[in-house]
Amino acid sequence: MKLQGKIVLITGASSGIGEATALAFASEGARLLLAARRASKLAQVASRALELGAEAVHTVDLDVRSRHAVQNAIDELPAEWSEIDILVNNAGLSRGLDKLYMGKIEDWEEMIDTNVKGLLYVSRAVVPGMVVRGRGHVVNLGSTAGELPYPGGAVYCASKAAVRALNDGLRQDLLGTPVRVTSIDPGTVETDFSLVRFRGDAGRAARVYQGFTPLTSEDVADAIVWAATRPAHVNIARIVLTPLDQANALLIHPESQAGMK
């Protein structure tokens, strides 16, 4: 499938995997609808996307945790941006590595509100239009953490297990329509993920990626674009990708490390 002129909505598009995905779709000539909370960083991504060949870019200052903000953002899109072809539910984060029984409830709420409820809010606002128009593709960012929890990451892992279940459930609910549903489940990706998890502790974040070569945001973006460009009758249900040195969310060679993407 060609992506020239297709409208692609990407949440969490201001950095990391979201930014790389925006630039990858830009190189294919797509029209980019970029959403994130950090408007200044989003503007920088938009500018770069236009340089790389995006047909057009429209940005939305959006916090996916607010269902009213999400619905209003979709309802108020200019007419020329309203027929979304591809939705990339990328917005997500982790907070802390506390043992479950010592966890901070506000951290739990932030992860669940963003990773699970945010995905639901955006999907609920966008997918009905895809069904009516008879075309569309939903790409959800999961994680190997959704398959196997690791110490200190129970709530984050549970949120990604929920993404896996929601992805598969949505695909079942859309059976008989032309709308495709895909989960992209990466292992460790070197982004600001750990910096966010550890609330700006750069030293602790850097140690997560020491001793092996992690995935890059571009690796994940490449998988997303590949899934989106398969023939219309082909649905890629799930892609699991890890660094060569990673077996699962718990095991990394030469050392086993917890706290993975």
Q: Which of 74-78, 174-178, 256-260 has the lowest mean pLDDT?
A: 256-260
How much is the pLDDT for 256?
A: 46
Dihedral over Cα of 195, 107, 149, 123: its sign:
negative
Selecting among 121, 150, 156, 209, the annotated active-site residue is 156
Question: What number is the average pLDDT over the span 63-78?
Answer: 98
% residues pLDDT > 90 (the chain): 87
φ/ψ of residue 240, rounded to 5: -105, 120
pTM of the model: 0.94
How much is the pLDDT for 206?
A: 87
Q: pLDDT averaged over the chain?
A: 94
Question: What number is the average pLDDT over the span 210-221?
Answer: 94
* 218 neighbors 248 (Cβ within 8 angstroms): no
pLDDT in tens, 45-62: 999 999 999 999 999 999
d(CA 118, CA 65): 5
Region for 152 from its dihedrals, namely left if φ exceeds 0, alpha if ψ lies in -120 to 50, beta otherwise: left
Could you tell me the pLDDT band of residue 255, with boundaries at 50, 70 and 90?
low
**Is the model more confident about 211 or about 125?**
125
d(CA 16, CA 66): 22
How much is the pLDDT for 64?
A: 98
pLDDT in tens, 141-190: 999 999 999 999 999 999 999 999 999 999 999 999 999 999 999 999 99
Q: Please give the structure tokens belonging to residue 183.
A: 């989960």
How much is the pLDDT for 261?
A: 47
* 37 neighbors 14 (Cβ within 8 angstroms): yes
Q: Which of 24-28, 96-100, 192-196 has the lowest mean pLDDT?
A: 192-196
How much is the pLDDT for 192?
A: 84
How much is the pLDDT for 194?
A: 83
Q: Please give the structure tokens belonging to residue 78.
A: 């200019």
Could you tell me the pLDDT band of residue 1, with boundaries at 50, 70 and 90?
confident
Query: Would the pLDDT of 242 be above 50?
Result: yes
Among residues 150, 19, 165, 36, which one has the least CA distance to residue 96?
150
Q: Is 150 a catalytic residue?
A: no
Question: What number is the average pLDDT over the span 108-114?
Answer: 98
Query: What are the residues whose beta carbons fall under 8 Å from the beta carbon of 169, sequence distance 6 or more?
Result: none
% residues pLDDT > 70 (the chain): 97
CATH of domain 7-241: 3.40.50.720
Q: Write out the DSSP string of 229-259.
A: TS-TT----EEEE--TTBSSSS-BSSS----
